[in-house]
Structure 1
Amino acid sequence: MDSNSSRGKRTSLQPQRAAGRQRVEELLEAASDLMAERGYEATTMAEIAARAGAKIGSLYRFFPNKEAVADALVQRHIAILEDEYEALAKRAATLSPDALADVLIELLVTLHPRVKSLSALMEARTDKTEIRDRARGHAIAGIAAALRVCAPGLDEALARDIAAVVLNTMKVLRSMLAKDAPTTPGGPDELRRMHRLYLTDRLQPFRRTSDGITDAEP
């Protein structure tokens, strides 16, 4: 039985001590790096341990097999998304629409390295549709919540529609920056400008004025 084979249905060990929790974080970070670089299938348990500077026995102590590592990574990535979008909603109350547009782009830049293996995990797993739907659902709900904080008169359905457009714009920009999509040297900046103009156009009518009435209200 090789290092990637399933070893029963044993669950991952949840360490109680700080040193154990730190070791798990190091192992998961190493696994995330490798899976982002090489893909889920090509990554082995031995490579994860080596990248983390740990003994293979230490890895198996916390994770019985590679599938358990993947499960932990998915949960970790979803938790990161939830935390970041919750923080975004709190910031949105102090932001103008164009400033919020820039913060969303900044969020894209900071989030991607932290959840870099999510795409590889989704492609390799049998439940990839469920994982993708969960990740997209968290992203759309999180962006929509921030939009409604910035523009309180915005109804939930429209906020989710705008959030879907914003999410796709962010993905295109990421692809352009990574040279995975056709672009030019000034293309990303033009997309950022379009992103700001779009959000300002859609949110400004629903912003609260000094008397508490939204611009969209009669």
Structure 2
Amino acid sequence: MDSNSSRGKRTSLQPMRAAGRQRVEELLEAASDLMAERGYEATTMAEIAARAGAKIGSLYRFFPNKEAVADALVQRHIAVLEDEYAALAKRAATLSPDALADVLIELLVTLHPRVKSLSALMEARTDKMEIRDRARGHAIVGIAAALRVCAPGLEEALARDIAAVVLNTMKVLRGMITKNAPTTPDAPDELRRMHRLYLADRLEPFRRAPDSITDAEP
């Protein structure tokens, strides 16, 4: 067994002290920046340490290899998604469908810098489909939960279908804003209007309590 394989079985060190936790956050932030900029394969442990302003020994103290750094980043990104969608579900009770549409659109735009290396990690890893499915699954479940809070009569299966449409709309809009998707100057605003109309059409019939709905769409 080569050294890389044996090292890959070692786990990351979980610091107990606040200073250690802060250092780990700095190292992970540096790794996320570099992997988003250059890709997973091109990023080295030495570059991560240098970007974080840390000694290489400090990085290896917490993470035995780059794969361990990647594992920690995936967990960090998934936790961010869980927290943000949980917060969204709490907010949704006070939002109209139009307002919820705007909040959802902005959410993916604001989330992207916090999970910026997730795409690079998914592209590089052998378990990328599992990571992608986890990220998408959390997003769909989180959006569906917010939709059902906003429209209490909405059934879970339909909420997830609508959530999948919303998630794809969010991704297209982010691509337009970042110029990674075909666009024109006013196209993002048009997509926002379409998104509002879609959610208003699908949610309004279910805004009443479930036992009072008699003529809602299936």
TM-score with structure 2 length normalisation?
0.94
- 1:25 paired with 2:25, answer yes
Distance 1:132 1:217, change over 3 A: closer
Distance 1:52 1:214, change over 3 A: farther
Alignment deviations for residues 63-84 of structure 1 (CA, whole Å, 9 cap, x no partner): 0000000000000000000000
Alignment deviations for residues 25-78 of structure 1 (CA, whole Å, 9 cap, x no partner): 000000000000000000000000000000000000000000000000000000
**Corresponding residue for 1:153?**
153
Distance 1:5 1:113, change over 3 A: farther
Whether contact under 8 Å (2:152, 2:209) holds in the other structure is no
Distance 1:114 1:217, change over 3 A: closer
Distance 1:63 1:186, change over 3 A: same
Whether contact under 8 Å (1:35, 1:120) holds in the other structure is yes
Shift of 1:216: 2.4
Distance 1:113 1:120, change over 3 A: same
What are the residue-to-residue correspondences of 1:77-156 with 2, within 5 Å?
77-156=77-156
Whether contact under 8 Å (1:98, 1:197) holds in the other structure is yes
Shift of 1:6: 6.5
Q: How many residues align?
A: 218
Question: For the residues of structure 1 that align with 2:215 and 2:135, how far apart are their CA atoms?
Answer: 33
**Corresponding residue for 1:169?**
169
Whether contact under 8 Å (1:31, 1:48) holds in the other structure is yes
The gaps in structure 1 that reach 5 residues or longer are none
Shift of 1:7: 2.3
Question: For the residues of structure 2 that align with 1:18 and 1:196, how far apart are their CA atoms?
Answer: 44
Instruction: State percent identity of aligned pairs.
Output: 92
Shift of 1:214: 7.3
Distance 1:2 1:120, change over 3 A: farther
Distance 1:6 1:106, change over 3 A: farther
Shift of 1:97: 0.2
Distance 1:167 1:67, change over 3 A: same
Stretches (4+) displaced over 4 A = 1-6, 209-215
Question: For the residues of structure 2 that align with 1:2 and 1:178, how far apart are their CA atoms?
Answer: 42
Whether contact under 8 Å (2:153, 2:209) holds in the other structure is no
Deviates more, 1:84-93 or 1:208-217: 208-217
Distance 1:82 1:146, change over 3 A: same
Question: For the residues of structure 1 that align with 2:210 and 2:168, how far apart are their CA atoms?
Answer: 33
Question: For the residues of structure 1 that align with 2:189 and 2:106, how far apart are their CA atoms?
Answer: 13
TM-score with structure 1 length normalisation?
0.94
